[in-house]
Structure 1
């Protein structure tokens, strides 16, 4: 299994390059790469971002201006691994422990698409996708369908594992044993889309999960 940071967005709501916005003293893209490597995965960056190659090797988009789905297509098209874990660059509160759980779950279910849900909502940008989805994803992109959940679920068909993250975390205490403060699992999936989102996270710096907290 390889892993990819999805970092090809235009950051219009942030007003500046989201991938390079600092969190805990380091760019968000560096935080994401760190999480993937901490989970025992080889990290790549998916998106037309050669300027980020100092953080990890990058895979350029083949379908431009198509959002995260274009980055997923580019990663799957490399053929480097059957299963591929994806993490959005703007999800700094995600934990390496949960990413390792995704690897574990896929090894059991072998589902073509493994997508956690939080409060009933799919979280398709912290998920694992099999290379067999490539054809369906390309068809979606060619038809103008850029929504990740719809494209992936259509491509996966019945070979889909859509599971409740809350239910798993409730019984897997090992996933939260390194959390400090009042960190709640739903915040792991919090996207940093605006400066206000970032400020809210920084205000709660004590609420943090991580086996190896990076120095600010």
Structure 2
């Protein structure tokens, strides 16, 4: 049985990029492959959250039960369609996110319902975070109420915060760099060799 899984959010409609971000490539490897390879050693299975089945042939897809409702709907689907107790949610458009950072998030979860990185400015990083099945009632309630922001869920569960200061050796600006536009992608391609 799959106790802990990773679910890669495949990027929705990618309006700002103008094309599917999962297929963008750096160093000859797609964003989806980069994320999958990074997370696969850490979890029982890696799934791809999709708005419709058949987007990524050969992948373990989890088609949304509530299409068009954003990341919370993908998380709800992951719990309802698998037996997983833990879901590590990861946005596909974080091409520099590292397995080490994922390990740190999992290790910091303790017995909380969720574990999310909190930046020095108070901002949260809920799309590279761990969620437990105990979140499901609050998650479903949020979606039923039309509250689609992940913040709405975090307000209702026991969230453990992994503070940025505790991750001093990790370059979070790079690791959590969200590639949303063609300009972002061009800069990422230029910086791909940076360590």
TM score, norm. by length of structure 2: 0.90
TM-superposed CA distance for 1:47, in Å, is 2.0
* 2:97/2:176 contact within 8 Å kept: yes
* 1:39/1:97 contact within 8 Å kept: no
Partner of 2:180: 193
User: What secondary structure does 1:93 align onto?
Assistant: coil
CA distance in 2, matches of 1:102, 1:32: 16
Unmatched segments (≥5 aa) in structure 2:
none
Partner of 2:81: 78
TM-superposed CA distance for 1:8, in Å, is 4.7
Q: For 1:31-81, what per-residue CA distance to the aligned partner results, in whole angstroms no more than 9, with x for missing partners?
A: 111111143552111123422142x30111011111111111111212422
CA distance in 2, matches of 1:207, 1:40: 27
Q: Does 1:203 align with 2:193?
A: no
Q: For 1:136-179, what per-residue CA distance to the aligned partner results, in whole angstroms no more than 9, with x for missing partners?
A: 111111111111122x21331xx210221x22222xx5xx5xxx
Partner of 2:155: 154
TM score, norm. by length of structure 1: 0.82
| Alignment match of 2:136 (pick from 111, 134, 137) | 134
Unmatched segments (≥5 aa) in structure 1:
177-183, 209-216
* 1:2/1:80 contact within 8 Å kept: no
Equivalent pairs counted in the alignment come to 190
| Counterparts of residues 42-191 of structure 1 (less than 5 Å) | 42-48=45-51, 49-54=53-58, 56-106=59-109, 109-119=110-120, 120-150=122-152, 152-156=153-157, 159-164=158-163, 166-170=164-168, 173=169, 176=170, 184-191=171-178
User: What secondary structure does 1:123 align onto?
Assistant: strand
* 2:11/2:93 contact within 8 Å kept: no
**C-alpha root-mean-square deviation of aligned residues, in Å?**
1.6
CA distance in 2, matches of 1:2, 1:127: 12
